[in-house]
Structures are given as C-alpha cells and as structure tokens.
Amino acid sequence: MSTPAVYLRPMIAFAMRSPISGRLSRRFVTLMIGCFLLGAALASSATAQPFEGCPSKEILARFDEFGRTGKMPPDMGAWLGNPKAQYIEPWKAFDNVYYVGVCWVSSWAVRTSDGVVLIDTLHEPHVDQLIANLRKVGVDLSEIKYVLMTHGHFDHVGGAAKLKPLLPNAKFVMTQTGWNEAIDGAKKSQTTPRPWSMIAQDLVAKDGDTIRLGDNSFGVLETPGHTHGTASYTYDVKDGANSYRAITVGGLGLNAIENSKQVEEFIASIDKIAELVKRPTNPVTVHLTTHPFSNGLTELREKVAARKSGETNPLVDPKGLLEQLTYLRQGAEERLAIERKAGR
C-alpha cells in the first residue's frame, strides 16, 4: 500500500541528531507511519529478512527507502512482524531501568521501591516476547502497577489487550485524546489486513500530572504533534550513587500531520522538552527513546555494559539531546512552511 509522495518527502527532512553520539541520523523518516500502512506491511507474505541482527544505520536506510518511494519494501514488512527477527536481549540501561522491547520499537521497565512501571506495550506478535523479557530481567507481572502509554498508534499500545488480563495490579495510562485515538484506530483497523484490539479506557492523565510510585515520580507532559494525544514521561534513573532525570518522548515523527496547527503544536512540544533540559535544577539529561534504532541506542547498549567503574553512563547526554531537539525543530519549521503554503 502506498501513500502520496507529497506527504512522505517532507518526512525525510526530519532527521534526528542523536543525543547519544551527536551524529546526524541521516533520515529519521516515518517510524510510526500510520496504522493503515504498517498494518498492510506486517501482513506481507515475504519471508526474506533484510538484516543480520539489529543494525541501526541499515534499518534507518530502509525506512529512508520507504520515505522516498511511498511503499514499504516487502522484506521490511515481513521483518517488522517477525518475532524471531525482532528479538534482542533485554538489557539494563540504569540500575532501575531495563529495555524490554524488540528491535524496532521500545518498551521500558522502571523498577521502584513499590513496584514496576512499564512504558508502552509493543504490539502483536511481539507481546509474548515482552512478557518473556520482563521475566528475564526479574519482573513478575504482578509487580507492574502502571503502564504508561505514549500515544495511540498500534505499535505502542497494540499489546495492551493481551497484557491487561495478565497484569492484575496495573493501571493503564494515557491522555484523553490518546485514548480516543487508540480506540478509534483499533476500530478502523478491523477492515484492514491486520486488525488489532484496544482495551477500554482506564486511567486518564493530563499535562502536569505526577504519578508517584515508591521512590520515583513520573511526570506527565502532553506533547502533541506526532499525534494530537501524544504524551511524554519524565522519571528518575539511578546509576550507582547518582540519579538523573530521564524522559521518554512520546513521538518525534511528522508522519500523521493534518495541518499547520498540528505542526505548530509539535514545535511547542519540542520547546517544552528543551526547557526541561535547560532548567538549572533537576534537568532532564537522558532520553530513553520509543524507537531504539532512531538514535543508535541498540549499539550503545554495548558501551553501557562495557564501561569501567566510575565512568558516567553513556546514556547521560544533555548536550546531545538538545542538539536532537534543535534539529527536529528546524525540520518542523520546514514542514510548517509547506503546510501553510498549501493552505492547510
């Protein structure tokens, strides 16, 4: 399935500057490219696998191909939905944070003194892997008290239906608009090649809310732009005697833009996040992304594991995060000009 090139070409401009390495990720194209497109791609019958392992640069290059052509390469479509190809070992990012996602999309488990917070749910057919990953890093499903969901696209909330009955003590959290988008997206998917289900609305969070669990607090930021209901979450990550404020930005792609107003919201959201990085007290210095290959996180895990005692965790990189946000803002300004010129 294809989409008009006029909407895809601008996406190529919105590359991300990695907060980890400071290097420009050549093209951060449509990582969350709309449920209707990815649904068709994941239903592909192709069996060839395009990658050995989970190489960030190569994956980005193939998404670039999608951005240029408007068509998901068949082998990529099959790869996105192949549990064996998507598997990566769960790993410890900080003393209290584990990566429990798959190659192309993230899920984070944050341990507190009174239970665990899970960020995003993955999607089928990868939910069994998420569950296995949680158990592998020592998380019992009964320990999960909150599931913080970033936005209503199926790759981030599509696993909620399977997880809900397995997490007896968990509240599922999203903004009101995020819930609306997820429920509507699931409903519309029923007539596509890959239908998915969404749970009924649970806990609604709004901008400025704080969700407290044990010795940690999770700040809620409404950061519309990627979708109208996108949320980002801040929380503490621990590294030995040190503690840092981290953020999981809910969505950075401009692939679901409707008009110039939405791009203006995106720019305002970027500015809001930048202010958190610049603030003099308790600044945000860590970005735990929703798509690991978008900024080389997959490769950086090896540096995290190999660092020597006393060295700062490589994930602590406020300068790189600001560079990333600056570059995204520049791309959004270009997109805003396109939308305004088109009268949208």
pLDDT tens column, 275-305: 999 999 999 999 999 999 888 898 999 999 9
Comparing 48-57, 165-174, 256-265, 271-280, the range with the smallest average pLDDT is 48-57
* Cα within 13 Å of Cα(215), Cβ side: 7
Bond preceding residue 195 cis, omega within 30 of 0: no
Residue 37 pLDDT > 70: no
Q: Of 332, 299, 249, 325, which Cα lies nearest the Cα of 19?
A: 325
Round to whole Å and give the CA distance between 285 and 276. 9
Task: Tell me what the mean pLDDT of segment 223-231 comes to.
Answer: 96
Q: Is the pLDDT confidence value at 312 over 90?
A: yes
Instruction: Say if residue 20's pLDDT is above 90.
Output: no
Distance of alpha carbon 283 from alpha carbon 308, whole angstroms: 25
CA distances (Å), origin 133, targets 12, 87, 101, 107:
33, 10, 8, 10
Q: Answer whether residue 70 shows pLDDT above 80.
A: no
130-157 pLDDT, tens digit per residue, is 999 999 999 999 999 999 999 999 999 9
Residue 122's Cβ-side half-sphere holds a number of Cα atoms within 13 Å equal to: 30
What's the CATH architecture for 5-341? 4-Layer Sandwich (3.60)
Give the predicted TM-score (pTM) of the model. Answer: 0.88
Q: Where are the domains of the chain?
A: 5-341
With a CB cutoff of 8 Å and minimum separation 6, the contacts of 343 are none
Q: Please give the single-letter amino acid code of residue 171.
A: K
Evaluated on CA atoms 330, 335, 340, 344, the torsion sign reads negative
Which pLDDT score is estimated for 42? 54
pLDDT of residue 67: 64
Question: What percent of the chain has a predicted confidence (pLDDT) above 90?
Answer: 71
Q: What's the pLDDT band for 47 if we cut at 50, 70, 90?
A: low
